[in-house]
Amino acid sequence: MNDTLKITGTLTVTCLLCAFLLAYVAGIAKPKIAAHQTRERRAAIQTLIPNAETIRPYPQRENLFRIYDASDTLLGYAFLAEGQGYAGTIRLVGALDADLSRLRGIKVIESVETPGLGSKITEEDFRGQFENLKVRPKIGLTKGETSKDTQVQAISGATISSKAVVSILNEKISLIKAVIESNRNH
């Protein structure tokens, strides 16, 4: 009985100490992680809109930003979007032109899709299809040649990942259009 109490006490103290240390390290890491994510988002936006000088959060909308040039002219909107892919969550940054009619491009910032197949969503061959792509009525996906300026070609062998990216974009762009157009009417 005495040995059981000693072992239980030792394990309890060890677990409490470990929990405290993990919480402490997480508290120290959290602001560094947030700062890194902000730098990563800014770099992605400046890649998509090279002459971006000022990035302002859209009022009362998380993950939506207005992008301005040096003369304070609105260049467009940038956004963070995420959704379920084949193997896990896909997170991306996208940019729309100021009149919300074209996608300026996308950059996948997090993905755990299948290496060699779904992971191709991060490659230029796939991402490049979204540059200057019309988003009205919405982005389409095709397995063959693209016949419209609103379509992208799916990655062979990774149709689910391709569909996921298109779905994530269509949902987010639809929401953005509704928010911005609603605010323009008020």
| pLDDT tens digits, 101-118 | 999 999 999 899 888 888
C-beta atoms surrounding 25 within 10 Å: 10
User: Which residue, among 175, 107, 109, 108, has the nearest Cα to 138 in the 3D structure?
Assistant: 175
Predicted confidence at residue 186, as pLDDT, reads: 61
Predicted confidence at residue 117, as pLDDT, reads: 86
User: Which residue, among 33, 171, 161, has the nearest Cα to 87 in the 3D structure?
Assistant: 161
Tell me which residues of the chain have a pLDDT lower than 70: 1, 185-186
C-beta atoms surrounding 137 within 10 Å: 9
Structure-token match 């902000």, residue found: 38
CB burial readout 126-135, b (16+ within 10 A) else e: bbebbeebeb
Structure-token match 């569909």, residue found: 163
Provide the β-strand partners of residue 64: 79
Residue 36, burial from CB neighbour count under 10 angstroms (0-12, 13-18, 19+): exposed
Predicted confidence at residue 138, as pLDDT, reads: 92
Report whether 85 contacts 118 (CB < 8 A).
Answer: yes
